[in-house]
Amino acid sequence: MLILACNGENTENTKIDLDELTISEIHQAYKDGSYTAEQLTAAYLARIDSFDQSMNINSVVVKNPDALQRARELDAEFAETGNLRPMHGIPVIVKDNYHTIGLQTAGGSIALKDFKPKNDAWQVAKLKEAGAIVLVKSNMGEWAFSPKHTNSSIAGTTRNPYNTDYVPAGSSGGTAAAVTANFGAIGLGTDTGNSIRGPSAHNALVGFRSTLGLTSRHGIIPLYLRNDVGGPMCRTVEDATRVLEVIAGYDPSDQLTRHSVDRIPDSYMVHLRLDGLKGKRIGVFRQLTNIELHPSVSTLFEAAIADLQRLGAEIIDPFVVEDFDELRKDQWCAEFRADIEAWLAANHPTLRKLEDLIAAGEPTPYAADGLEYFLTASGRGENAIPCGDVFSDPRRIAYRKAIEDEMDRLKLDAIIYPGWGHPPAKIDNFEAGYLGDNSQVIAPHTGQPAFVVPMGYTEGNLPAGLQILGRMFDEPTLIEISYAYEQGTKHRRKPF
């Protein structure tokens, strides 16, 4: 779709086709002089103005008033040096729970309206250092509570661009909808149990939930810090890999990232291999796929297995974890109160307690129920089992070990299952339609990386995603599999 962009210094209109633009295509255009970062940024902002509300998508909370100035500065830098930084002039959609200097960061809640942090989140800062432009903050499920839908007291309901009668999933549904609608080049989401991978599956995007400890969570409003991960939501595996390359690494403000030291390769980009599936051994995790699997998703999943095999993989079917149902029990820990109160103490000028948040605004009904629950809930509920991080909690370690030991025994590179076993639910019936969420079951608790890649479309033009789970810190293998599958199938198509 061609968008006319102009700026104050150059009155000539520039036609920019924003549909499915990638980072490499944008950088080539900058080098060719086809358009500037300022013109591209203006074009994306114009597209948002034209379509976000008129098409009833409602993905954007606030636009960055400094985005065009930032783009001008980057254009001046490029004109002077002739060099492009890794994310130079790339407009990014940032979820509303990431700290962004000078921009409201509300976590989807009216209680934090007008809160503007003094520092950027680590991942935002790293992207800015690499040359990215924060374009907008995107809507989210309030406090990141809901995997089911994206509804907030700060901005209302976000809808799926493929069919606006349906949910984009949650809680990163605003980022997902904005990126899939081509309102920006790339996106950042967060994932506590589902919230990168579910919205990516529902919106035909690539979503990376990386290994817990590979990227910093500093400056992200927490849900359950022991499970929280921030990361890329993009239209291509290549773009998601470029983002991961920038944001991975040790941050002294998030001590979990000390586990990433000496475990990050010199380059993730070298693993973008068209032949990346050749010789790979991939297990089919039927213990998940046999539960709540809609016939239309089942058809796509079986086709995905055939495609993986056609592209060079050896399929081991089924992959079975002994005592799986017992291992997955008692993994969740309700630590929102402790985590959010620690965040408030460190960041907010006045609010301190969970009760303060409740009194400060009127949450959505779904969020209100969650807040009420967390007033008394803590730990593992009725079970007096201590809650620890993924590297120290015995139950989490045992769960991961059982999966990775079986992968080792079978010499597997990864295991697969549908990212979501049912199509997206209808917005007006999201509670009853919430079925088949496979993302909650393994990766949040074991800490393993899990990627989602477009798998095709069910009835009603509704996307589905393939989830690929690997060993701790083995993102390179998942990138090879994801890229080869994406390039060998080309499932993604624009929504309009």
Q: Look up 171 and say whether it is catalytic.
A: yes
Q: Which of 95, 128, 148, 280 is catalytic?
A: 95
Residue 168 pLDDT exceeds 80: yes
* SS3 label, residue 300: helix
What pLDDT sits at residue 313? 98
What pLDDT sits at residue 9? 47
What pLDDT sits at residue 10? 44
| pLDDT, tens digit, 9 for 90 and up, residues 338-378 | 999 999 999 999 999 999 999 998 999 999 999 999 999 88
18 contact partners, CB below 8 Å, separation of at least 6: 1, 3, 43, 44, 47, 182
Q: Look up 95 and say whether it is catalytic.
A: yes
pTM score, whole prediction:
0.97
- Omega cis (within 30) before 318: yes
Residue 246 pLDDT exceeds 80: yes
Return the percentage of the chain with pLDDT > 90, whole number.
94
What pLDDT sits at residue 383? 65
Distance of CA 305 to the CA centre of its chain: 24
| pLDDT, tens digit, 9 for 90 and up, residues 442-475 | 999 999 999 999 999 998 899 999 999 999 999 9
| pLDDT, tens digit, 9 for 90 and up, residues 296-306 | 999 999 999 99
- Omega cis (within 30) before 171: yes
Residue 160 pLDDT exceeds 70: yes
What pLDDT sits at residue 379? 80
Q: Which of 152, 171, 216, 482 is catalytic?
A: 171
What CA–CA distance (Å, rounded) separates 283 from 291?
A: 17
Residue 7 pLDDT exceeds 70: no
Return the percentage of the chain with pLDDT > 70, whole number.
97
Q: Which of 109, 152, 153, 195 is catalytic?
A: 195
Confidence class for position 288, pLDDT limits 50, 70, 90: confident
- Lowest mean pLDDT, pick from 119-133, 255-269, 367-381, 405-419: 367-381
Residue 11 pLDDT exceeds 60: no
What pLDDT sits at residue 8? 47
What CA–CA distance (Å, rounded) separates 24 from 122?
A: 24
Counting Cα atoms < 13 Å in the Cβ hemisphere of 203 gives: 39
Residue ranges and CATH numbers for the domains of the chain are 2-489 (3.90.1300.10)
What pLDDT sits at residue 2? 66
